[in-house]
A and B are shown apart, each in its own frame.
Chain A
Amino acid sequence: GNSVTQMEGPVTLSEEAFLTINCTYTATGYPSLFWYVQYPGEGLQLLLKATKADDKGSNKGFEATYRKETTSFHLEKGSVQVSDSAVYFCALRMGIQGAQKLVFGQGTRLTINP
């Protein structure tokens, strides 16, 4: 079946450090890939997405590139801030647009210290 595996957390970094959160997937076809973020006390929010191989999603300084050859969608940010502290979820979606069923990774808790 389809699945997503994320780097285990928690991850703790200092402000301005470089961030990588690894995400790999298993899928029978060609999924769309997503990163969601959940800030403390808030609902999940879409951070970025990529719908086909070699696409790069980016938002708020975060980037992730859809790599079909390595079935990966690693999340990166060059210089993290305290406000980036949150739980990050990698996800994939199969099926027709409108089906909207997501398969999530287990989430990675990120804490940024000043």
Chain B
Amino acid sequence: SAVISQKPSRDICQRGTSLTIQCQVDSQVTMMFWYRQQPGQSLTLIATANQGSEATYESGFVIDKFPISRPNLTFSTLTVSNMSPEDSSIYLCSVAPPGEKLFFGSGTQLSVL
């Protein structure tokens, strides 16, 4: 199993600023995933973060807007840069320990004014 600590749990930010979301796992995992859930919509995969290499971004998401760090096998950050109200969403970290199912963090609820 895996226990994920994600913070902050929520934040209210001004447009044009940036927010970094942290994801800490209690075990070493190769792959970590970042999802976004916009209001009333489904979860959408932003990127896959592998330790020691650049993150792989899904269509519609770019590194300049959502830079990701993965310094070790238990930690990752997602930054939402130059925020606008359209970035108001829930951002979720998830991990897949070897041979196990996906585990999700409790999410970061972001509101951009």
Determine if B49 is an interface residue (Cβ-Cβ < 8 Å): no
* Minimum Cβ distance to chain A for residue B24 (Å): 13
Contact indicator B92/A101 (Cβ below 8 Å): no
Determine if B48 is an interface residue (Cβ-Cβ < 8 Å): yes
* Minimum Cβ distance to chain B for residue A1 (Å): 9
Please give, as numbers and ranges, the residues of chain B lying within 8 Å of A44 by CB-CB distance.
43, 92, 94, 104
How many pairs, one residue from A and one from B, have CB atoms within 8 Å of each other in the complex? 46
20 A-B contact pairs sorted by A residue (CB < 8 Å): A4-B42, A36-B104, A42-B106, A43-B4, A43-B103, A43-B106, A43-B107, A44-B43, A89-B42, A98-B31, A98-B96, A100-B102, A101-B33, A101-B45, A102-B45, A104-B42, A104-B43, A106-B40, A106-B41, A106-B42
Please give, as numbers and ranges, the residues of chain A lying within 8 Å of B31 by CB-CB distance.
98, 100
Chain A contact-residue range equals 10 to 19
Please give, as numbers and ranges, the residues of chain A lying within 8 Å of B42 by CB-CB distance.
4, 89, 104-107
Determine if A29 is an interface residue (Cβ-Cβ < 8 Å): no
